Amino acid sequence: MARDSPRRALLSTVRVLLVGGAGNAGRRAAAELLRHEEVDALTLSARREDVAARIARLLGGRNGKVATLGLDVTDRAALVQAAGGHDVVVSCAGPASEVELPAIQGCIEAGTPYVSLCDDHEATVASFELDDAAKGAGVTVVSGCGLSPGITNILIAYAAQTLARVEEVEAAVAYSLNDSPGDATMFHLLRELSRDAPYVSEFQSAQGKAGDLPRPVYFPEPVGWVETFTCGHPEPLTAPRVFPHLRAMRFRAGLTERAAMDALRAIAASRMRGTRATHPGGRLLRAPVRMLRSLPPRGATWTAGRVDVWGERDGRAEVVSLGVVDHIANLASVPLAYVAVAIGNGSVVKPGVSTIEQVFEPGPFLGALARRGLRAARLTPEIFEAR
């Protein structure tokens, strides 16, 4: 439940506006939202309404629950008008660096709660500057509700509950290019490898070269060992808000397709040197990046996350390691939909701009994910069972 938060009257039904509904993440989020009985109406939006209508037909219309809308999320007036008729706005739109702030600003103006998959660390930090405005409008904003950030944050918070003091944290994600039919994973990794990565060292926030410090990390099977590298992500910037005495933290990422990861790092390095052809999403980049899927050897077509939290318990040093593995579509959509429904129906209210672990208690959250088929586990025999 929300921490130290007022509650509004619970709604028996929830009206959801889904922005960015035409992409792979958006389509899966739409299907997951419709699995929740509380969702009585879903407006699926895309830049072109005919595209949104096609996705709605693929969803089968769901007995008239699904409406469609052509919407550019950066068009503030249009977003305010659309958001005003809904209980919550859910964003799968991207890139987050371009859409996250306009979307939050529009929802604050409309007075409608907002949740997103934002995984851009610069956009995340900028969103905190809207905290006072969101609190003044009584609007709950939770940015980063997928796998990472999202589940990773919750796993860190759960591990921290078993320790008297948290000292160091490392979060890592293993992606598979063949786990998603689109290019979003590749372009996200490329962007994050092409700029400095935030981290925490000796209690201070810092930035360093991404794509550096290679290290193999073991993820839950069937992923197994994956070589990971430092990578830009929101977690090293948001964790100190929750753990102000954190001494060190890094985020790492890798591809289960090793050759593809090497190629992406090379492309990112050339982009940092200013090569024009390596702009993520650019026409000159799309063809070679898509070819990366076929490079051997191929890894497991699953996505996994892992957190390691070092601290102290009963006067002794201890590390708690937790992990999760599934397909990226589920790892993104299941937590996003759960957060959206909980906030949309009024069971969770926390005005302001927050990270997911500032709003939800980790144990009940992990139990809720388990009931939806996502089971996180200690990297020892204990498993979170649905209850």
pLDDT at position 300 is 76
pLDDT at position 6 is 46
Tell me the Cα Rg of the chain.
20
pLDDT in tens, 184-194: 788 888 889 98
Pair of tokens at residue 12? 């028996």
Integer Cα distance of 113 and 107 in angstroms: 7
Residues whose CB is less than 8 angstroms from the CB of residue 221 and which lie 6 or more positions away in sequence, other chains included: 325
Integer Cα distance of 13 and 119 in angstroms: 29
Task: Tell me if 306 sits within 8 A of 172, measured CB to CB.
Answer: yes
Task: Tell me if 223 sits within 8 A of 300, measured CB to CB.
Answer: yes
Mean pLDDT (the chain) is: 88
- 52: Cα within 13 Å, side-chain hemisphere: 21
Percentage of residues of the chain with pLDDT beyond 70 = 88
* DSSP track, 281-309: T-HHHHHHHHHGGGPSSP--S-EEEEEEE
Residue 381 has pLDDT above 50, yes or no: no
Cα–Cα separations (whole angstroms), residue 303 to 185, 252, 328: 11, 14, 6
Q: Is the peptide bond between 102 and the residue preceding it cis, with omega within 30 degrees of 0?
A: no
Pair of tokens at residue 192? 């994050």
pLDDT band, very low/low/confident/very high, at 253 (cuts 50, 70, 90): very high
Integer Cα distance of 320 and 379 in angstroms: 8
pLDDT in tens, 75-121: 999 999 999 989 999 999 988 989 999 999 999 999 999 999 999 99
Pair of tokens at residue 29? 């989020």
Residue 269 has pLDDT above 90, yes or no: no
pLDDT at position 73 is 94
pLDDT at position 28 is 94
Integer Cα distance of 31 and 35 in angstroms: 7
Of 76-80, 120-124, 176-180, 275-279, the one with minimum mean pLDDT is 275-279
Strand 197-201 vs strand 248-255: parallel, antiparallel, or unpaired? antiparallel
pLDDT at position 288 is 59
pLDDT at position 188 is 86
pLDDT band, very low/low/confident/very high, at 266 (cuts 50, 70, 90): confident
Strand 377-378 vs strand 165-175: parallel, antiparallel, or unpaired? unpaired
Residue listed under structure tokens 């509380």: 38
235 three-class SS: helix
Of 130-144, 278-292, 337-351, the one with minimum mean pLDDT is 278-292
What is the phi/psi pair of residue 326, to 5°?
A: -175, -170
pLDDT band, very low/low/confident/very high, at 264 (cuts 50, 70, 90): confident
Pair of tokens at residue 137? 């409008």
Q: Does the predicted TM-score (pTM) go above 0.85?
A: yes
pLDDT at position 297 is 65
Integer Cα distance of 204 and 187 in angstroms: 29
Strand 204-208 vs strand 303-313: parallel, antiparallel, or unpaired? unpaired
pLDDT at position 285 is 55
Residue 280 has pLDDT above 50, yes or no: no
pLDDT at position 171 is 97
